[in-house]
Amino acid sequence: MHGISYDPLHDEFTVPQQFGQAILTYRGDANGEEAPLRVIQGAHSGLDAPEHVDVDPIHSEIFVPTRSGAVLVFPRDGKGDVAPIRVLKGSKSLVSNPTGVYLDKADNELWVASFGNHMAAVYNPLANGDVAPVRFIRSAPPSQPVPGLGNPHPLAYDTKREQILVPN
């Protein structure tokens, strides 16, 4: 497992399971070999090697980037073979092999790290379908072959400095 997201409102943590094509949610005080509270998994989920997640406890949603080039949004309390409630994907969206997501709850922005086009892009968290980003970080426009961020992965936010951190 490469990612984890803690939901302080519901005292739960959510992790992706890449090989099982699943999203697992556990109690915040889980200990030892404890079964998850909920598992999202199955053909309708569209999950494809999920590595990272972020949870929005206020709007009860889970954001999951997938290897197939989409960001899937599930209900936080979803369980079983659940279809996403929204999918961010398409040529205008510039989402290409997304590797990380971060929901900036203070500024209401969804950050997506995208290995396929070497950039980090910002979207409205309610974006659905083929929606262009509001803005992005890259050393060259996506139409040019010059790489920007080599291998962006998980994202983090420094609240003290108000900076997004994109490892490369």
Question: 5-7 and 98-104: which strand pairing?
Answer: unpaired
From CA 64, how far away is CA 117, in angstroms rounded? Answer: 18
**Coil, strand, or helix at residue 24?**
strand
pLDDT, tens digit (0-9, with 9 covering 90-100), for 52-89: 899 999 999 999 999 888 999 999 999 999 999 999 99
pLDDT of residue 135: 85
From CA 42, how far away is CA 112, in angstroms rounded? Answer: 24
pLDDT of residue 157: 65
pLDDT, tens digit (0-9, with 9 covering 90-100), for 79-119: 999 999 999 998 888 887 788 888 888 888 898 887 766 77
Residues of the chain with pLDDT > 70: what percent? 81
Name the residue among 63, 65, 83, 82 with its Cα closest to residue 73: 63
Looking at every residue in the chain, the average pLDDT score rounds to: 85
Backbone angles phi, psi at 44, to 5 degrees: -70, -20
**Coil, strand, or helix at residue 164?**
strand
Domain boundaries, given as residue ranges, for the chain = 5-165
- Is it the case that residue 5 has pLDDT exceeding 70? yes
- Is it the case that residue 142 has pLDDT exceeding 60? no
Architecture of domain 5-165: 7 Propeller (2.130)
pTM of the model: 0.86
